[in-house]
Amino acid sequence: MKLVVNCSDTFNLGVHKLNAWLDDSDIIDAKSLTPMDIMNASSIWCSAIFSWDLPALKKVSQDAAFYGKPCTVGGPAVTANAQWIKDHCYGATVNEGLHDCDTVQGQWPMVWTSRGCIRDCPWCIVPKIEGHQMVEYSELQYAPLILDNNFLACSEQHQQKVLELWSGKKVDFNQGLDARLYSPAFRKEVKSHKVKSTVWRFAYDSGGMGKHVERAIDDLRSAGIAYNNIRIYLLFNHTEAIDEAVARAKEIIEWGASPWPMAYKPLDWMSKDYYISPQWHRSAIIDFRRFFSRGQLWRSTTWEDYNNTDIAYVNELMTCL
């Protein structure tokens, strides 16, 4: 029997697709894997989503080598850190890029209808693992979460095909829509196909995006979408100063949406702890994330007042809300 090992502490769609693609296989989490499991397996297949999952993947691959079992490793973190894998996972077969199992059909809670992104954001893993060319999948299957990294960069024909299949069903474009490509016409298409968008997501990761994000929020609010159903991914702790990130968060709130803080980590960051960029410090990262991710805080006080309030008191107050 082949063992498909999930080296991430979260649901790993790639693992489930790989398990469906292989014959005579079973899934196990890396933290539950025992030497007996490895000895009884004919081969080991490992997947890691995030770079901080790589130490677990490294251990599994080395244990497989110790017991003389062939091991194949893959996943986004592997593709983004291919040289590190080759240096540390000796004897393992490295699968860089998308595996053949990516298009396997099954009853998944999430799905891709396309791969790739036309943008080249310096902090983003997508150009490195999927490329800039949009690849539209011809075989589609419904799932409530769509993981496409730039759905609006797909052709109009593909967008229509997806909306028709999702007609009357819920959808969450979980990775966010590109505000530069968003238009009221798309919202109207979603509505005309009776697609039930549970939440609208965009990203405001740099100052140059502001006018596009504001325009998208304004259109959605004019259509009656509540602020808590418009969530704006807000990259921080990258190269910007703290004040710049705070300014973007305040703009999102002023425009009538909810900020969704995302603390930056480099693609080769191996620790589950925070990465701290030169212009930030640990307490600022924690406070920023805590404040701007909780509507009951930023709707009741200001960042300046919160930042000057005893945190122990705030935490006690939060338990009462």
Residue 303 has pLDDT above 80, yes or no: yes
Q: Above 70 in pLDDT, residue 319?
A: no
Residues 52-56 have a mean pLDDT of 97
Q: Residues 152-174: pLDDT tens digits?
A: 999 999 999 999 999 999 999 99
Task: Write down the pLDDT at residue 207.
Answer: 85
DSSP 313: H
120-155 pLDDT, tens digit each: 999 999 999 999 999 999 999 999 999 999 999 999
- Residue 46, classed as helix, strand or coil, is strand
User: What does the pLDDT average to over 183-208?
Assistant: 96
* Domain layout of the chain by residue ranges: 2-94, 107-320
What is the enclosing helix (H) or strand (E) of 295?
A: helix 295-298
Nearest in space to 2 (alpha carbons), one of 61, 66, 70, 56: 70
Q: For every residue of 145-175, which 3-state class applies, written as one string?
A: EECCCCHHHCCHHHHHHHHHHCCCCEEEECC
Q: What is the spatial distance between Cα 121 and Cα 127, in angstroms, rounded to a whole number? A: 8
Beta strands in 9-160 (DSSP E): 25-29, 43-47, 71-74, 93-94, 110-111, 114-115, 135-136, 145-146
